Amino acid sequence: MKTGLTVETKNLTKRYGNFTAVNHLNLDIKAGESYGFLGPNGAGKTTTLMMLLGILKPTEGEVRISGELVSSDAFNTKGLIGFVPENQSFYEEMSAWEYLMFFAKLYQTERPKERGQEILEHLDLWAWRDVLISGYSNGMKRKLGFARATIHSPDLLVLDEPIAGLDPLGIIQIRELLMAEQERGCTLLISSHILSEVEKTVNRVGIISKGKMVWQDTMENLQQWVTEKQHITITLSSVDNEIIAGFRSLPFVQEVISEGNSLCLVMDQAGDYREDISRFILQKNLILLEMKEEKTTLEEAFVNITENNVQDLTGETER
Ligand SMILES: Nc1ncnc2c1ncn2[C@@H]1O[C@H](COP(=O)(O)OP(=O)(O)OP(=O)(O)O)[C@@H](O)[C@H]1O
Ligand SMILES: [Mg+2]
């Protein structure tokens, strides 16, 4: 089994003029870990990954891969890294097989033909190996990009939205290969703007928004946080600040999110609080128009976190 590479950043920052795309980001990814790097469009994911790989120069801060400082010059661990970029370009006039073998040679891969065949077969591209890449569909190119990034069995695999544009079978095939890479000991760093895309593949999650890390914890804790809460939305005939404060003061209510005449009450999962809520509404002479239970999904939790509706979920929030 291999030892995966570690990734560490200290105050990593990228500015474009007055605009800060990545803002004092501290990452600490352990060897062999599978890390989900999440954030909405424009959050700074691609910019961060480009700096990790030495493709883009940081304005401030530093990156270390297994302790070695990454600069835009070639660094020693570069040959041990596989990268699937967001927008990949290919040598279109080559066949997939020529293309893969070209990279296998470049990386001095052991048993390149066996390895190439194994990957292409798994991705359903084996029958297409001699077809020119110019004749490949978008999804097939995406898979080929993955084959190129893993042909040399890297110790760190960096993937920028790896399953975007793939059909359900393609997603499963890539997921299986990612899991096989991790079992081999490879460190995975996977960016995505959809939490459910990486839910099954990653152990730890970092969420960035506007260039800053807003949440970081294990996938298990994130899932637990979602299932530990219950949300009840009530719609009243009118709502004012005093009414909101009243709901906030109830001992079983942890948080109140208001939108017009609707209030979303966030509570722990331990009890059924509908009666208590009804009693409070009667006591205050409020007119209830609707009450419904909302199930929070992981995706909603993610949106909440990135929009900063929820602050400091675990005490681990970095700002
Ligand atoms: N060369 C550049 N010049 C100016 N601004 C840039 C440049 N590259 C990126 N940005 C800005 O930096 C921010 C972060 O961009 P980035 O591509 O890193 O986001 P992302 O998280 O990868 O988003 P997506 O999910 O859409 O791929 C965006 O607001 C973008 O407009
Ligand atoms: Mg991006």
- Per-residue pLDDT tens, the chain, 319 aa: give them: 678 999 999 999 999 999 999 999 999 999 999 999 999 899 999 999 999 999 999 999 999 999 888 875 666 667 899 999 998 889 999 999 999 999 999 998 989 999 999 999 999 999 999 999 999 999 999 999 999 999 999 999 999 998 888 998 999 999 999 999 999 999 999 999 888 888 889 999 999 999 999 889 998 888 777 777 788 999 999 999 999 999 999 999 998 888 899 998 988 877 889 999 999 999 999 999 999 987 767 777 777 777 754 444 443 333 3
The answer to whether the CB of 69 falls within 8 A of the CB of 58 is no
Q: CB under 8 Å to 144, separation ≥6 — which residues?
A: 90, 96, 99, 100, 123, 125, 133, 136
Among the candidates 152, 185, 210, a domain finishes at 210
84 CA to centre of ligand 1 in angstroms: 17
Measure the CA–CA gap between 113 and 313, rounded to whole angstroms.
Answer: 49
Per-residue pLDDT reduced to its tens digit, 31-54: 999 999 999 899 999 999 999 999
Nearest CA to ligand 1 atom 14: 44
Closest ligand 1 atom to the C-alpha of 49?
18
Condensed to tens digits (0 to 9), the pLDDT of residues 291-302 reads 998 776 777 777
Which ligand has the shortest distance to the CA of 13?
A: 1
Q: What three-state secondary structure class fits 259?
A: strand
Same-domain status, 246 and 206: no
pLDDT value for 203: 94
The Cα 136–Cα 257 span in angstroms is 48
Residues 6+ apart with CB under 8 A from 318: 26, 212, 213, 214, 216
Q: Which of 67, 48, 66 is nearest to 57 (CA)?
A: 48
CA of 88 to the centre of ligand 2 (A): 12
Cα 22-154-143 angle, rounded to 5 deg = 80
Q: Residue 312 falls within a domain, yes or no?
A: no
Distance of CA 267 to the CA centre of its chain: 27
- Position 73 scores a pLDDT of 63
Mean pLDDT over the full length of the chain: 89
* φ/ψ of residue 187, rounded to 5: -80, 135
**Residue type at 58?**
P
Give the pLDDT of residue 171: 92
Residues 36 and 156 occupy one common structural domain: yes
Return d(Cα 17, Cα 164) in angstroms, integer.
30
Q: Quick one: 279 and 231 in the same domain?
A: yes
- 110 and 206 share a domain? yes
So what's the pLDDT on residue 1?
A: 67
Q: Does the residue 217 lie in any domain?
A: no
Rounded to the nearest angstrom, the distance between the alpha carbon of 116 and the centre of ligand 1 is 34
Ligand 1 environment, Cβ below 6 A? 16, 19, 21, 39, 41-47, 86, 193
Of all protein residues, the one whose alpha carbon is nearest to atom 3 of ligand 1 is: 16
Which CATH number covers residue 71?
3.40.50.300
Helix ranges restricted to H, 73-198: 96-106, 112-122, 138-150, 168-183, 195-198
pLDDT for residue 200: 86
Pairwise CA distance, residues 206 & 216, whole Å: 4
In-domain check, residue 145: yes
Same domain, 164 and 240: no
What residue numbers bound the domain in which 163 lies? 7-210
Mark whether 32 and 168 lie in a shared domain: yes
Q: Give residue-wise pLDDT tens across range 71-91.
A: 756 666 678 999 999 988 899
Give the torsion through C-alpha atoms of 298, 300, 302, 308, to 10 deg. Answer: -150
DSSP 253: E
Candidates 71, 72, 31, 61; CA nearest to 189 is: 31
Residue 76: the pLDDT is: 64
Which residue is it, tokens 């993610």?
302
- Contact present, 102 and 86 (Cβ < 8 Å): no
Supply the residue whose CA is at minimum distance from atom 10 of ligand 1.
Answer: 21
Q: Candidates 45, 48, 195: which one to mutate for ligand 1, based on the most atoms within 8 Å of Cβ?
A: 45
Q: Are residues 45 and 159 located together in one domain of the fold?
A: yes
Handedness of CA 285, 291, 297, 300 (dihedral sign): negative
Structure tokens at 103: 């990279």
Nearest bound ligand to CA 192? 1
Q: What is the pLDDT of residues 173-183, one digit of tens each?
A: 999 999 999 99
